[in-house]
Amino acid sequence: MNRGTGVAIVLALVHILERDPDAVVGFFPCDHYYSNDDSFRLTIRSAAACAEQHTESITLVGAEAESPEVEYGWIEPDVVVSQSEIGPLFRVNRFWEKPPLHQAHALMRRGCLWNTFVTVGRATTFLDVLCSQIPEAVMSVTRAFADLAHERAYGLLQAVDFSRDVLAHQAHRLLVLRDRMSGWADFGSPARVLETLTRNGIQPEWISKRDNFFSNTSPRISV
């Protein structure tokens, strides 16, 4: 049952905090792609260091915006709060989740970043931010975990989108690092998969076979 990213994060945090109350955690979407793994590792190391330094904030990883995308979240950086291994760490002025097209154009002109959803911080800070927005979900998951009744409680929960329902309302608790070099791409649709493959000079075998089929097939026309 899909109960959204917010509930999934709460459940993960409850498990982690039972084992390590001082844990620094990171959340990573499973359908994203990075053309430069070493650069991405450096970004995550920098984000983890920022989490250790700014314990009351969650650090987001933002990507350079290349188009007025309406299916992504957008992050507006504010003042620089410190320097990291990959560049400045910014305070977040505002977070927009999937804005309309005219708004996306305006955000791009202002130099805002795409939200990659990669988020790093102390587990206790994540839980505190979640409690401020979705306290009922946090209490339900925590109680179910204690009572070993996960499946029954999970089915009764309302879906929570972490970006829309939490991050968009907690910009004052957010910091952002600009990721310039990892080649981030969202594989959330077939069109984005093909675009990323083309950009990286990769042509899947099935595309070659399809193109060869159509180029070698002559239409039959009867007059």
The CATH number covering residue 137 comes to: 3.90.550.10
Query: Highest mean pLDDT range out of 31-40, 88-97, 157-166?
Result: 88-97
Q: With respect to residue 21, please indicate whether it lies within any of the assigned structural domains.
A: yes
Residue 36 lies in a domain: yes
Is 61 part of any domain?
yes
Number of domains present in the structure of the chain: 1
Tell whether 11 is covered by a domain.
yes
More confident residue, 183 or 190: 183
In a domain, 220, yes or no: no
Asked if residue 222 belongs to a domain, the reply is no
**Containing domain of residue 11, as a range?**
4-214
Sequence-ordered strand ranges (E) for the chain? 24-27, 32-34, 58-64, 73-84, 87-97, 113-122, 174-179, 184-186
pLDDT band at 80 (very low <50, low <70, confident <90, very high): very high
Asked if the structure places residue 219 within a domain, the reply is no
pLDDT at 208: 55
